[in-house]
Amino acid sequence: LQVCADDPLTVAHSARILSSGVRDAVTQRWAQRGFRRAVGTDPSGQTQRNLFGQIDGTANPAPADADYDQLLYSDGADRRWMRGGTSLVLRRIRMTMDTWEEIERSSRELTIGRKLDSGAPLTGTTEHDPADFEAMDRTGLTVIPTESHMARARPRVRAETILRRPYNYDDVPDSGQISNSGLLFASYQADPVRQFVPIQQRLAEQDMLNTWTVPIGSAVFAIPPGCHEGGYVGESALEG
């Protein structure tokens, strides 16, 4: 159950009301609490930033894309009850903020592959400029490093496109920790094996950002389609 609002008081009250009706049937096992900038905080509508200061989520598909639905929603070919539903991969990733802040700005930008101020690729000037991964600098090196986070995470084929919705967390440090901050990375896609796994494998193999990030845990959820009037969410799964 994901509950979101611009006001944390609204989130707390809504979560309580939604869970109150099922307390006799279910037990809450865990919860993850994250935050983003409130709507309207940035009048320009710029993509959200993470705690590293980097714009996060630029390459998301737009609802106007011709194959948007095919990328996000299952066609039910493998599991009939998932037709019209989607999947969620949720990863909790700790950011080692203290060591990240020790490196200079140029190194941070090379690690990500984007400029800190605008979010533009290192080969562009604005956030949504297409990246040129073949461009070389005067020394013969690629302007966007091949091991940068951007280069490793980009889809190799259109079918690898995912919808990302990252949330930040900044919790009280555990004993012995200097900080306890990071990212709740939420990825939505029709098929996590076909779309998410190939990207994650490339990041695990070689990603400069791995020096400053530590995966804490992850989970995969099947999100069933909505229901008809008089029905209930998940009805198709129980019907087989």
Model pLDDT for residues 67-103, shown as the tens digit of each residue: 999 999 999 998 899 999 999 999 999 999 999 999 9
The model's pLDDT over 118-153, given as tens digits with 9 standing for 90+, comes to 999 999 999 999 999 999 999 999 999 999 999 999
Q: Are 135 and 148 in contact (CB under 8 A)?
A: no
SS3 label, residue 124: coil
pTM assigned to the model: 0.91
Name the E strands within the chain: 86-95, 163-164, 167-171, 180-189, 213-223
Name the region of 203 (left: φ>0; alpha: ψ -120 to 50; beta: rest): alpha
Fill in the amino acid letter for 230.
G
Report the range out of 154-163, 169-178, 226-235 with the highest average pLDDT.
Answer: 154-163
Look at residue 69 in the predicted model and tell me its pLDDT.
95
Q: Which residues pair with 217 in a beta bridge?
A: 92
Which residue of the set 6, 7, 24, 56 is catalytic? 56
Q: Is the dihedral of CA 92, 48, 89, 233 positive or negative?
A: positive
d(CA 112, CA 131): 12
The length of the chain is 240
Helices and strands (DSSP H and E) totals, the chain: 7, 5
Q: For 3-32, write each residue's pLDDT tens digit.
A: 999 889 999 999 999 998 888 888 888 899
Q: In sequence order, which residues have a C-beta less than 8 Å from that of residue 4 and are 6 or more positions away?
A: 11
Q: What share of the chain is helix, strand, coil (3-state, %, to 5)?
A: 25, 20, 55
Return the percentage of the chain with pLDDT > 90, whole number: 75
Taking the C-alpha atoms of residue 186 and residue 60, their distance in angstroms, rounded to an integer, is: 12
Least Cα distance to 144 among 128, 131, 154, 125 occurs for 131
56 is catalytic: yes
| Integer Cα distance of 195 and 189 in angstroms | 7
